[in-house]
Amino acid sequence: MTVRAGLIVALLAAVPLGGCGLTPLYTGGGGGPIAATLGEVEVAPIDGKAGWLVGGALNERLKAIGGGAARYRLNVRLDDKIVGLGARSDDSVARERRTLRARYQLIDVASGAVVLDATAGSDAGIDVVGSEYATIAAESTALERLSETIADQIVARLALYARRTQPPTS
C-alpha cells in the first residue's frame, strides 16, 4: 500500500467519527462556560497534611481555570490509610499500601443546597526498605502523588457537573 493510499484509508475511516455527537468538555477554553463554573468554586480548608496537599492541588487547578466570585463551596473529607501487606521471615512488613479516599460535596453558596455529593480515591504501593528514612520519604511521596490524583478526579467530576447543568446551546 502506498503512502497516499494509506492516507486516503485513514481519512475515510475518520469520516464517521465526525457525526458521533461527541464534543470537547472544555469548549471555549478558559473563557468557556465550564471553565467559568469551575472558576466559581471555593475550596474549604481540609484537615491534615493530606488535606493541605489536596486543597493546594484543587486550588491550583481551579484558580488556573478562572477566578470568579465564589458561587460554590467544595467541602472535602479525606481518609488516609497505610496498611502493611507483605511480611518477611522476621515478621517485619515488606510492603505497604497507602490509600487516600475523598468524600466531597459541592454546595451552592446562595441556597446552601448540596448539588453534588461524590467520592474519589486512589492507592499506591510502597516498598518498605531497611532505612526508616527512605520508607518515610516513600510514604510522603506516595501521599503527594495520591493528592494530585484525587484533585484531578474531583476537578474532572466538577467539570462534568458543570457541563450537565449548562443550558443547551443552539
Whole-number Å distance between alpha carbons of 157 and 28: 18
Strand order in the sheet with 114-127: 41-43, 72-87, 93-108, 114-127
* CATH number of the domain bearing residue 115: 3.30.160.150
Residue 9 lies in a domain: no
What are the tens digits of pLDDT across the range 103-129? Answer: 999 999 999 999 999 999 999 999 998
Name residue, grid cell 461524590: 118
Residue 14 falls in which region: left (phi positive, over 0), alpha (psi -120 to 50) or beta: alpha
Q: What is the pLDDT of residues 125-166, one digit of tens each?
A: 999 988 999 999 999 999 999 999 999 999 999 999 998 887
| Structural domain boundaries, residue 69 | 33-163
Contact 142, 98 (CB under 8 A): yes
Does the residue 74 lie in any domain? yes
Count of domains forming the chain: 1
Q: 126, 141 in Cβ contact below 8 A?
A: no
